[in-house]
Amino acid sequence: MIRVHHSVDELNHSVADFFARTARDAVNSRGRFSVALSGGSSPRGAYELLAGPPYNEQVSWENVHVFWGDERCVPIDDPHSNAGNALRVFLDKVSIPPHQVHPMYNGQAPAEAAADYEVILQRYFGDDPPRFDLIFLGLGENGHTASLFPNQPALHEEKRWVMAVNIPDQEMKERLTLTAPIINLGRNVAFILFGEKKAETLKKVIEGPRNPDLLPAQLIAPEDGQLQFLVDESAASLLTGAG
């Protein structure tokens, strides 16, 4: 499903509405809400909205458990840290119990951090592979999502839940990521993106030939969940029928 919004502000409110509604439904159905957040600039506006009224009053934060889809291997106070940014603009401003916030990286070697995060997921979800109620994703101009980058071995991983990856052409080379099979177990998976710089990539991912080695976002196809692209008009401008 592709949901096109007239402006970035409208998109941000739609994402915040979606978060609050999904959290409410999950708590009513299963007693808790499990979300994997994304980093980057795309969700920041929605995070800021969720930190204040009316959205912060619509979520039973005591039942929310926060994880991440990927992370750079940097200290949490580093401006490149996905968890650090979410804490500063969002999570530190709502009444979620601190022990229910689970950053991916805490200073370990990357491979150790990936193994540790699998243990955290196993303790929370049990022995079955984790099924998040909601996973937010971004979309890079090179077609990557989470830290699943083009032509990387992690694209073909089928058993591990979390991997350490090294992306040579990125400033922050060492990263952690959920693998595609785990993302595809999500009950709700939502790409969030805006701006004309993302338009060509979005068109390739949705309408182009399937080549996930070059466009890793094409790997995302929830098995028994809902996939949405929440975008603004600029990002959707090259899609067939746009405008």
Region for residue 150 given its phi and psi (left: phi exceeds 0; alpha: psi -120 to 50; beta: otherwise): beta
pLDDT of residue 242: 65
pLDDT of residue 124: 97
Q: Which residues contact 91 (CB under 8 A, 6 or more apart)?
A: 66, 101
**Structurally, how many domains does the chain consist of?**
1
Tokens of 189: 């998976």
Cα–Cα distance measured from residue 65 to residue 75, given in angstroms and rounded to the nearest whole number: 21
CATH number for 174: 3.40.50.1360
pLDDT of residue 47: 98
pLDDT of residue 7: 97
Note whether residue 235 is domain-resident.
no
Cα–Cα distance measured from residue 198 to residue 137, given in angstroms and rounded to the nearest whole number: 14
pLDDT digits (tens, 9 = 90+) for 24-56: 999 999 999 999 999 988 999 999 999 999 999
Note whether residue 107 is domain-resident.
yes
Residue 79: is the preceding peptide bond cis (ω within 30°)? no
pLDDT of residue 119: 97
- Sign of the four-CA dihedral 4, 5, 9, 15: negative
Distances (CA, A) of 129 to 20, 23, 124, 183, 220: 25, 20, 10, 10, 16
* Cα pseudo-dihedral 14, 19, 22, 24, rounded to 10: -110
pLDDT of residue 223: 87
Mean pLDDT of the residues in the chain: 96
Closest CA to 5 of 58, 64, 46: 46
Q: Helix or strand or coil: residue 84?
A: helix
Q: How confident is the model over 10-30, as a mean pLDDT?
A: 98
Task: Give the structural domain span for 136.
Answer: 2-218
Is a pLDDT exceeding 60 seen at residue 243? no
Note whether residue 229 is domain-resident.
no
pLDDT digits (tens, 9 = 90+) for 52-75: 999 999 999 999 999 999 999 999
Note whether residue 84 is domain-resident.
yes
Compute the residue count for the chain: 243
pLDDT digits (tens, 9 = 90+) for 131-175: 999 999 999 999 999 999 999 999 999 999 999 999 987 777 899
pLDDT of residue 240: 93
pLDDT digits (tens, 9 = 90+) for 186-212: 999 999 999 999 999 999 999 999 999
pLDDT digits (tens, 9 = 90+) for 84-130: 999 999 999 999 999 999 999 999 999 999 999 999 999 999 989 99
Note whether residue 194 is domain-resident.
yes
